Structure 1
Amino acid sequence: MKIGIVRETAPGERRVAVIPETVKKLTAKKFEFLFEPGAGMGSSFPDDEYTAAGAKISMDVWSEADTIAKVQKPAPEEVAKLREGGALVSTLYPLFNPDLVKALAARKVMAISLDMIPRTTLAQSMDVLSSQANLAGYYAVVYGASRLPKIFPMLMTAAGTITPAKVLVMGAGVAGLQAIGTAKRLGAVVEATDVRPETKEQVESLGGRFLQVTGVEVKTGQGGYAAEQSEEYKKKQAEMIAGAISKADVVITTALIPGRRAPILVTDAHLKSMRPGSVVVDLAAEQGGNVEGCVAGQDAEKHGVKICGLVNVPSAVAAHASMCFSRNIEKLLVHVTKDGAWNINLDEEITKGCVIAREGEIVQAKVKEAVK
């Protein structure tokens, strides 16, 4: 199998899907690699590292490779360049991109959508959403700290004691837990909230204080995500966190619901209650945002509070993000191939979840329903 590594064309995207380390490992397992010149430069992997690892440079990767590996979904003009009957491994978000799914099926491309890999213990090593969210949680804290006109840790100086910054993390998934740990290591006092009571132990193990809604039924989600909650729950949650938000120097929001707009957690009234100079970092900005008034891709200010609508956060730490992404792809390819050739079993859980189109047909059940 010849795998093509292409330059990412989405605005602001600096990652690369496969790094030289992975090329070297998979070349030893009967894979071949072609790469476009400069494919890894955005994440600090020069061409000579790819050639040293065993990949061949090509000016026409799209037509020469059997399989194309990408970070971002292909643009329409890139879909047209895919080899008919070939394969694509990428984050396609098919539930939001039905036209793309149809186009890939029409070209008889076997489409593997990395964002559809089940979030199970067996699939952890292949889970690009978790690996990239982990880095996003780290970066959100560093970004928030850089915008705050204070420092995070407590300092005792000859001029007096500086009290530590207070950080509130909303959502204790992969990104949220990393944010909690990072903020704590930087010396902040950290509180966290999540609709899933089972995350309390994880939050506290990282040194955070868990804020929990009591006295109302909590709906459980699937795949590590939260579920949409009742209006009664939302009301009690808002009351509980209002005080925490008003006291926080930095608020980081991470709440997502699969296939839905991100829930609003921080309202205009909450922003008014915060001290001037406080910072809110919204990691859900691309899905509509958890913060009222957040604009994806922009830093704004409202009521003296900075609102940071971060997008494509892993690209900000492209070298490590690409490393994690590439290792995820490596584990997946080993799982769905044998001796360097596809070995697809649609009855197997991971394969059934992420192979969305094959031989001209949409084969993934949820995607098939969404495309109707």
Structure 2
Amino acid sequence: MAGERKVAVLKERAKGETRVSATPETVKKITALGAAVAVESGAGDHASISDEAFRSAGATIGSAEEVTAGAQIVLGVQGPDPALLGNVAPGAWVVAGLDPFGKGEGVGRSRVDAYAAAGLEALAMEFMPRITRAQSMDILSSQSNLAGYKAVLMAANTYGKAFPMMMTAAGTVSAAKCFVMGVGVAGLQAIATARRLGAQVSATDVRSATKEQIMSLGAKPIFVENVAGIEGEGSGGYATEMSEEYQKAQAELVSSHIAKQDIVITTALIPGRPAPRLITDAQIATMKPGSVIFDLAAPQGGNVEGTVADELVVKHGVKIIGLSNTPAHLPTDASALFARNLFNFLSAFWDKEAGEPILDEEIGNAIRLTKGGKVVNERLLG
């Protein structure tokens, strides 16, 4: 494909999606690489980015059909509908969070198969390997950071009391007790945010290496001591499933601790699998009425028994919150970080002589789902 590469940015069409995959900042940077950027009109509306702001940054504005015409690269937050991509260049890249394990009509594996049938090269940014040189491209980390922050704010807003200790002439208000379960990127940000709001914070994780991280943020680590957990990190920086012995010991520890908590934030996810169950109905029943649980794993079935995505559930007087897309509730910052992840990816592999990005084997094999009309990713072929 000779000539200037064309990069298309589409308006997100998934329900509740407020983010956009490019910003004026990244449009300028992409055009500086030697590409032309075309943005669908209204793509940035929910993120407070006007068409004029994109145009001033060097993008052309048009309809979905106009911006995808002949495009060699299509950027998205979530995977675009293959029906919108009928006029892109042969073998065009689709670079987005593609959720290949998602459930539902028109998403997940069926959408991946449609990309393959259309001859597109689908690149799942959430499959980015957690290696040092790919950190700046990691959409899961950037979005999880914001999700951990927002989870605490929403829990605080739902909680009927103050977070910090307050001493007044009328008496003292005790600080809220906040327990964070899962100390990855989201959990660490949740700990930091709850601490900034003045709560007494404790946290737990199956990875023993997180103890120091918890303490470094001024929180109290709560760990199973008599059964071995994971030393260091799990695969790719994620936790992995634990033995039945560890799960039983952890459940007993959580049961004794959770009854004293006002706020609980759960963050545990295993890529490609349903979220592990961390809190049962029986454990919820031991909590104080008015307590709040925010389940960040709601999109994958939830860590908490009874979680319903995008609904406030009340069980035993405890309020349970879980959103299907937490980062979308911070659209401006979430878009800015997501767009930088995508630009960092493109720029890292941009070949100036060829005038296009050329993936290396390590990252290409990790994130490429389809190529040459076939599904090629090992995680989808097993």
TM-score, scaled to structure 2: 0.93
- Gaps (5+ residues) in structure 1? none
- Structure 2 residue 335 is the aligned partner of structure 1 residue 306: no
Aligned to 2:105: none
1:30 matches 2:2:
no
2:248 alignment partner in structure 1? 235
Tell me the distance in 1 between the aligned counterparts of 2:160 and 2:252. Answer: 28
Aligned residue identity for 2:97 = T
Q: Does 1:167 align with 2:178?
A: yes
Match of 1:13 in 2: 17
Which range is displaced more, 350-359 or 191-200? 350-359
Q: Which runs of 4+ in 1 moved over 4 A?
A: 79-83
- Compute the displacement of 1:63 (Å): 2.1
Deviation at 1:79, TM superposition (A): 5.0
Identity %: 48
The C-alpha deviation readout for 1:165-201, integer Å capped at 9, x for no partner, is 0000000000000000000010000000100000111
| Equivalent residue number for residue 100 of structure 1 | 111
Alignment-derived partner of residue 65 in structure 1 = 71
Aligned residue in 2 for 1:91: 97
Q: Which among 34, 51, 63 is matched to residue 47 of structure 1? A: 51
Aligned amino acid, residue 355 of structure 2: A
Q: What is the Cα-based RMSD across aligned positions, in Å?
A: 1.5
- Tell me which of 340, 355, 367 is aligned to 1:354: 367
Query: Would the aligned equivalents of 2:370 and 2:376 in 1 still touch at CA under 8 Å?
Result: yes
Q: Secondary structure in 2 aligned to 1:122?
A: helix
CA contact (8 A) 1:336 1:351 kept: no
**Distance in 1 of aligned mates of 2:255 and 2:86:** 50
One of 70, 74, 77 as aligned partner of 2:83:
77
Match of 2:204 in 1: 193
SS in 1 for 2:201: strand
Query: Of residues 216, 219, 223 in structure 1, which corresponds to 2:227?
Result: 216
Report the CA distance shift for 1:82/1:345 in structure 2 as closer, same or farther (over 3 A).
closer
Q: Deviations over 1:129-166 (max 9, x none)?
A: 00000000000000000000001001111011111000
SS in structure 1 at match of 2:77: coil
Q: Check conservation: 2:351, 2:358, Cα contact below 8 A.
A: no
Aligned-partner SS, 2:331: helix
Q: How many residue pairs are counted as aligned between the two chains? A: 368
1:255 aligned counterpart, secondary structure: coil
Return the match for 1:56 from 54, 60, 71: 60
SS in 2 for 1:28: helix
Distance in 2 between the 1:270 and 1:143 partners? 22
Unaligned runs of 5+ in 2: 103-107
Q: Which amino acid aligns with 2:41?
A: P
Q: Is the 8 A contact 1:152 1:187 kept in 2?
A: yes
Partners of 1:251 and 1:259 lie apart in 2 by 24
